[in-house]
Structure formats: structure tokens, C-alpha cells
Amino acid sequence: MAAGFFISKSVAIVAVVLGLGAAATIIALSVVYAQEKNKATDLGTTNPSTSTTTATTASIAPTTTAAHDVWDKWRLPTTLMPEFYEVTLQPFLTPDANNMYIFKGNSSVVFVCMEATDLILIHSKNLNYTLQGSFHASLQAVGGSSVPPITRTWLQPTTQYLVVQLGSPLQQGQRYRLFSIFTGELADDLAGFYRSEYVDESGTNRVVATTQMQAADARKAFPCFDEPAMKANFTVTLIHPSDHEAISNMPIRSTQQQQIDGNTWNITEFETTPRMSTYLLAFIVSQFTYMHNTSEDVLIRIWGRPAAITEGQGEYALQVTGPILNFFERHYNTAYPLPKSDQVGLPDFNAGAMENWGLVTYRENSLLFDAAYSSISNKERVVTVIAHELAHQWFGNLVTLRWWNDLWLNEGFASYVEYLGADSAEPSWNIKDLMVLNEVYTVMATDSLTTSHPLSFSEDEINTPAEISEVFDSIAYSKGASVLRMLSDFLSEDVFKEGLQSYLHTFAYGNTVYTDLWVHLEQAVQRNGLQLPGTISDIMDRWTLQMGFPLVTVNTLNGSVSQNHFLLDRSSVVERPSVFNYTWIVPITWMTPENPGERQWLTSVSETKPEFKVSSPNWLLLNLNVSGYFRVNYNQENWDQLLNQLSTDHEAIPVINRAQIIDDAFNLARAHYVDVTLALNTTRFLSREIQYMPWQAALNNLAYFKLMFDRSEVFGVMTKYIQQQVTPLFIHYKAATSNWTTTPSGLMDQYSEINAISTACSYGIAECQDLARDYFQQWQQNTSRNPIPPNLRSSIYCSIVAMGGEEAWDFIWDRFKEAPVVSEADKLRTALTCSPLPWILNRYLQYTLDSSKIRKQDATSTINSIASNVVGQPLAWDFIRGNWRKIFTQYGGGSFSFSRLISSVTQRFSTEFELQQLEQFKADNQDIGFGSGTRALEQALERTRTNINWVNENQQKVLAWFQGETGSSSPANQISS
């Protein structure tokens, strides 16, 4: 058949009705293209609202519109409900005459009229439409009844709608089909239908057309009802070069070849999807290859750049995907809903990964693993991210939250069960323990600010795409995970799973609100006769509808226990009201040296628990394994007994609780509940500790001291103390690994070895720095053989750059440019931020604006790393202030990266001058705003004020403590003596 543009079968009927000349299913692309060129259309670049593709009368909104018109609202009306889409897209993987990458497409959507209306609103963003008659779209009744005439169509760019005004109302209960033909830009903006590029082993630049629809970018690929509750079935057809592969959510139904404009194209149609949300749709055209296996009739494929797949970088992902899918099938008591599971590593990807149903997309470093280059933390990242995304295939995809205000349940749940899924694949790792450090304590830092927010928002608080993006924060992911872990703990995993399974079976292919899960968990509680101090809703609403968390304070002299809202700055004012008055129903696990006790509940502000009355030399420990989302304070006598236990036999206290004692004490000191010296005293036992979790808790908290004091005299004696404490750990691992030549067996053991090296090198222990120099010299002599073990590379690379001046920086930069594995490139890219030379760091900051040097997806994390360097921090701050408009425009207000960027460049702020600079930055940029970083900016202001007070109150005390521990004296004392 003649060269043409493919239109799916049922749409061909519409085409005949429209007089589009579709006697067959193909319309010549060349004709459409010529028509559009004749209309002087700049494909995909002109603003859709003013595009000359459409007649002026059709493209401009009526001038009489009032602000309350339905098309000025961000939420779709519920008058129409989509049922079925047929979408055909043709991406062009070489630039056009205007040096632009474009895609062409057509789509039809069948919808039901739920309520009579003369208006069709459908989402559309940055699409240029080919007019049908005088209108952007055409309408047909399904089933032969009459169809109202279209009187006007226009694009409403602010709220991202295509508006179709009808001459008379659509009839309730009747089905209609809306058809449109459009062109869009295949931009490199990492959103919607976009392009990713890489250079293959022959030096050829390759282009990939891929997608990222979440949260509100399916509308950039085709016009659609782009809200999660607007579920429908989708049949996707891709027209692609015949030497490229096309994949989508479902398996291929048929492929045929077609000559179009002298080139051979494949027309690949995919099976129709189950009922699903637009944000989970995905399609990719690439020259990727894959490795595959099957797991209980489910085809599993790991896709990536051909060189990466040939080198076996997909093998680990392939090895763990089947077991993780099987684990979740058992966990949910529900078969995997689709016939295949594709997982694709993309060179350019904004998030870590995306759970598109049946076609999960990843950053390469979250899917690909190469044992010769990748560290144990890379391996942990791969298995946990795969588990997170596969958890969503049921929870999120099969059953979907109605609107983004409940995102926390979707992401918090996946962030919790990713540890269970990863544990099923790597049972020897004890990976579930890491939740305490990675999720609970990480998010408590944010949730102890007055600028935090509750897990659940009311639906009307979240409307715009920028507001939706802002919800994707650590509260949603990590606090969501933490409170669900607590809930599972006090219900028991079996009761939790029973309620979860009932919820999934009831709402399969539908939408829910978070309270639906509470109902099903409550039914499971009743069936199992579990005694709780209230309903699931009574207990959990206090954790989801109010921000923050409690500090539980116990006095072992009389057994009294009380709670209050824990804030890092106790003098700050909480402006967000709570119907629960910031009190919680708190499940408390506990133990004494003799035995663990029965779980207790704190249901009021204060109570007396006889079990908590303990006399010396015994001690009381609350919140075993930190299963509850709260902090704990004790009377001084109990603190003394716990510290005494740590100094005599620290292993009498469970390892997670050794980490807890450190983390709680440091945070209590920051909030003025205990003296800072008590917190520092909890680190004394570390000279005998070899376990990862207590060490990591200490390093996390001492990192705050480093941020506050690395520009002051405190840092000199602090460095001495840390050297003193870490030396035994360094010596232990030097012996255990036969002088760094072997790798410890367990995950935690490997992490502990990494801490020994990174702490020893970064705090200037000569033997560690000599080791780094020796490795560097060996590597320089033979660049094709890297002598550094993968686990130690991040630390050693950083030391090489920090000590080696311009020569070392250039050497590492050259290795970065030629790195064959993304995880290796990431380590090198981050190490380049360790230079102490301001001119090098300033040059590197400029590189982040040049995507030929630093990929767009890596720009913000590179700036963040430079800001964590004491020399780089003021440079990064000046850079952000000087380039905010450019950065903001380049990434768009909806980018997830802004909140991390703002918190990173301001994390050292602890002076009045820095606070004034931050307030000025806020004032200077009010006109363009801060997008998804808006809340992070308020949190940075609050943190800075807290830091100022803390440093003023504690600097001298901290200096004196470190001097006492290291036998140092201050210069003033030395002079006076």
C-alpha cells in the first residue's frame, strides 16, 4: 500500500465519516506534513494556543470567559468518563528541517456521558493539532445515535485543556468517540513522550523515544482525561523505523512493515491494556536489546543499551525479578495481573524509576549492575528499587488512589514493602533493619519542623501539576513507609496482610481513598479478635492527618510516661491546627535487662505504667527495633544506666536500639531536652563497636556537627576525636580483609568496612590517605586496570581528588567520560566534587548547565554534592542565586529536584548573615517562584533559624567536650599556661 500514516481499524470508520479519505487505514504522512508546512507551522515549538495550525477563531478561548468557567479549573468535571483509547504515535528519531525532534499521532477516545453537558474538556499540553474542518477534533456517536455539532474548539494552555464546545448537550448514558490528529515535540525534557540519547561503542549517537507520564504528562503525548480516577483501556500502536524495537505496557498483537517516504517503518500494534490510569501508560522505541526468562508463565525481560546487556549488566536484575514477583503474588494473594514484566534501563530519566504497568522504566543505575564496577550499595539499590516498582504493580496500578492527595499511601506502601521484597530475594542481608536509618530517621529530620505537613492532604489542597509534584517528598515516601511499618508491627504481619489482600480483591481495577484500606484492616482485626485501644481509623488518623510525631518521655523512678509534639526548635510556633491537638495513640514496645515486656499503649498525654518503674542498676529501653514512629527521652538516672551498659557490654542492647540511643540523644540535644554532652557521650562506646547501624547513626549525627562547625575551631578537635574512635574499626577491617584484598560476606559487614575507610580517609588518618595515594599511583600506571575494590571506590576516589590537585581532578574526569557503567560514572562524578580548589569547583558548577558534560538528570545531584563540600558550599549558593531563573526554566516548576537542591545548598546555614541572604533570595524570585521547592525553602528558613540558636548555645560546650576526650587544650589555655 502507498506510503502513509497508520490509523487503527475502528478509527478508520471515523475517518470516512470525516471525509479524511480513509478508504483504507492509512493517510499519507507526506500530505499531512506538506499541509502543515504550508500553514507555516513550526512543528511542536509554537505555543499551542496561538499555533497557526488552527484557525484563529478556533484556537482562542472566548473573550467572555469568567474566572469561574469550568476550563479555568484544574480538575476535570465528572460529566464524562473515558472507557477506551486507541492511540497511534510515530516518533521521528532524527531532527527535522528546523533541527527539532518531533512525533506525529492520532488518537480516539470513547467516553460515556455521565451527565448531560455541551462541553468536552480533555487534557492537552504542547500539542499542535491538524484541523478537521475548522476544529481541533471531531466527534462521533457510538451506536449510531445523533451527535451534537461542534461549534467551537480551543486550547486553554494555563489549565492544559483542549475545549470542545457543542451546539447541543451530549446525552446521559450515551457513548461518543472523540478523534484528533496532532504533532508534538520529542524534547529532551524527561517528561511525557521524550527523547533520551546515548553514544554507542562505535561512537554513534543513538536516540531513544520513551515516556514518563507521572504525574500529569500523558497529556503531552496525546489528548486524554489525565487524572488517576479516569481509568480506561488503551490500545497503542507505534510506527517506528524497522531497525528499532517498540515496546509498551502489553505484548505485541501484530507487526507489519510499510514504506513511508522511501523508508521502511514497522507498524506495531499492542494488545489492549486492562483498565488503568493514564499516568501508568508507557511506550519506548529504541535499539535496546534484552535478556529474558519466565517466572510462572510471566515473561520477564531486562532491556538496556546493547553494550550493557551484552556485558551482562542486566543479569542481577533478571535473577531477582522472578523471586520478587513471586513474593508479592504470595504477599497480596493475587496473581500478577499481566502476561509480561519488562524493565528498561534508560540513559536519561528524571526519577529513580517508574512503575508503568508491565513496562517499568529505570535510571540505569537502579537496574543495571556490574560486579566488576558496582558496589554493594549499588546492588542494594537495584534490588530495593525493583522491589518498590514491582510492589506497585498491584498496589497503585491494579488498585489506584483516586487523587494525588493520597499519594503517601501509594508511595509509602511501596517504600515499606520494598524492604520485604528485597529481603525475599536477599535473605542473608537483614535488609529490613535498614528501614530505621534510611526511612524513619531520615524523614524525622523534616517531620520535626513546623513547616512539615501531614501525610494526607484534603483533595482540594492539591490541584496544579506543581502542587502534585510537591507531594512527591520524603514525607510521602519515608514517613508513609514508617507509619505503615508501625501499623503492620502492632497488628502482626499476618493480620496486616489479610486486610491488605481483602482491599486489593475488593477494589481491583478501581480507585480508592486511604480510608478504604483502614476499613479492610479493621475487618481483619475483628475477624482475628485482636484487642486494640481504638479502631484502625482512631489510631491511624492521628498519624496521617496531623504532621509530626511524638516524643515519649518516661521516668523510671515512678513509671510515669508522657507525650508531646517533638520539634527541633521548641520555641517555634505550629500554625497548622490539628483536631487531635498533636497527641497520638502510641504503641510502645519495651525491655529491661531481664526480659522484653508486653506492648503497652499510650492513649493520653500522660499515664503511669508500673512496668516502666525500674531501679538501678537495671535500665529500661522503649521502642524495640524502632518499630514505632517516635523518639524517646528518659530521666537522667536511666540515661546513666544505658550509657553504663554501652560502656561495659554494649551487645546487651539490641543493635538497632544502639543506633536509636545515639540518634534520639543527638536529636533531643538539638531540641534542648538533654545536654549536648549527653549526646556526645553516646558515641564513646564506638571505639569497641563494629556493627554498621550504630556507627551510621553516629556518623549521620556527627555530620550535623561537621556542617555547623567545619568553619570553626571546633572542627580541629572534633577531627581528632573521630580519628581516635574510628581507628579501631579501620584496624579491624584491615585485618578482616587481609589488608583490603578480600570483601566481607554480609551486607552490613560490607557497609561497616566502607564506613571505616570513608571516615578514616575523610578525617585525615594518614594510613588511609596513603592507601588512597598508593591506589592512585597504581591506576595512573595502567588506566585499563583499576586496582580499587568497587565497595571502596566512592571513598578512595574522593580522597584522590581531595589530595591530588588539578592533576587528580583531570584524571578522574577522564575516567568519568569513558566510564562503561553508570554506577561507576556516578561514583566518579560525585568524587569530582571533593576538590578543595574553588576555581575547579566553580568550573564544575558551570558544567552542570551543559548537558554534553553532565546529563540533565544528574545536574542537581552534582550541585548538591558540591554544596556538601565546605569549600564548594558558598560557591554553590552563589551559583544557585545567580542562575535560579535559568535552572528553574530549564527544568520546569514541576521537577522533583528543586526541593533537594534548596535543602542541600542551605544545609550549612547557621549565621544571621546567611539567614538574611536566604530571605533575600526568596524575595528576589517571588515572581517566578520555586515550584516543587516552595515548601523546601520555608523549611530551609526554619532550619537556619534553629541552627543559629543551636550553634550560639552549644559551640563552647562542644569544644570543651572534644578537648576533654582528646586531651587537647585550647590555644588560649596554651598561651596562658
Please identify every residue annotated as catalytic.
Answer: 389
> What is the distance between the alpha carbons of residues 951 and 557, in angstroms, rounded to a whole number?
33
Question: CA 634 from chain center: how many Å?
Answer: 36
Q: Which three cell numbers stand for residue 114?
A: 455521565
Q: Which three cell numbers stand for residue 849?
A: 548547565
Query: ∠57-58-64 over CA atoms, to 5°?
Result: 65
Longest CA–CA separation in the chain, Å: 102
DSSP letter for 433, please.
Answer: G
215 upstream amide cis, omega within 30 of 0: yes
Q: Which three cell numbers stand for residue 619?
A: 535500665
Closest to 327 (Cα-Cα) out of 399, 438, 417: 417
Question: CA 49 from chain center: how many Å?
Answer: 33
Q: What is the 3-state secondary structure (H, E, C) of 886-902?
A: HHHHHHCCCCCCHHHHH
- Is residue 768 classed exposed, middle or buried when 0-12, 13-18 and 19+ CB atoms within 10 A define those classes? buried
Query: Cα-flanking dihedrals φ and ψ of residue 384, to 5°?
Result: -75, -35
Cβ neighbours of 95 (radius 10 Å) = 12
838 upstream amide cis, omega within 30 of 0: no
Q: What is the 3-state secondary structure (H, E, C) of 305-326?
A: CHHHHHCCCCHHHHHHHHHHHH
Strands 298-304 and 340-346, by their bridges, are parallel
Secondary-structure percent of the chain, ordered helix, strand, coil, rounded to 5: 45, 20, 35
**Looking at the DSSP assignment, which residues form a beta bridge with residue 6?**
26
Closest to 595 (Cα-Cα) out of 633, 652, 656: 652
Closest to 186 (Cα-Cα) out of 207, 215, 161, 156: 207
- DSSP conformation letters of 718-756: HHHHHHHHHHHHHHHHHHHTTTTTS--SSHHHHHHHHHH
CB 940 within 8 A of CB 906: yes
> What is the distance between the alpha carbons of residues 362 and 717, in angstroms, rounded to a whole number?
44
Q: Which three cell numbers stand for residue 595?
A: 526480659
The identity of residue 421, as a single letter, is G
> What is the distance between the alpha carbons of residues 395 and 390, in angstroms, rounded to a whole number?
9
> What is the distance between the alpha carbons of residues 48 and 63, in angstroms, rounded to a whole number?
17
Q: Coil, helix or strand for 177? A: strand
DSSP letter for 477, please.
Answer: I
The identity of residue 152, as a single letter, is R
Please list, in sequence order, all residues whose beta carbon lies within 8 angstroms of the beta carbon of residue 211, skipping any fewer than 6 positions away: 192, 193, 194, 221, 281, 282, 283, 284, 356, 361
Cell 468518563 belongs to 81
Closest to 650 (Cα-Cα) out of 615, 691, 700: 691
Q: Which three cell numbers stand for residue 101?
A: 525532534
> What is the distance between the alpha carbons of residues 865 and 886, in angstroms, rounded to a whole number?
20
**Looking at the DSSP assignment, which residues form a beta bridge with residue 245?**
286
Sheet holding 631-634, edge to edge: 606-608, 560-565, 550-555, 631-634
> What is the distance between the alpha carbons of residues 444 and 597, in angstroms, rounded to a whole number?
26
> What is the distance between the alpha carbons of residues 739 and 956, in angstroms, rounded to a whole number?
40
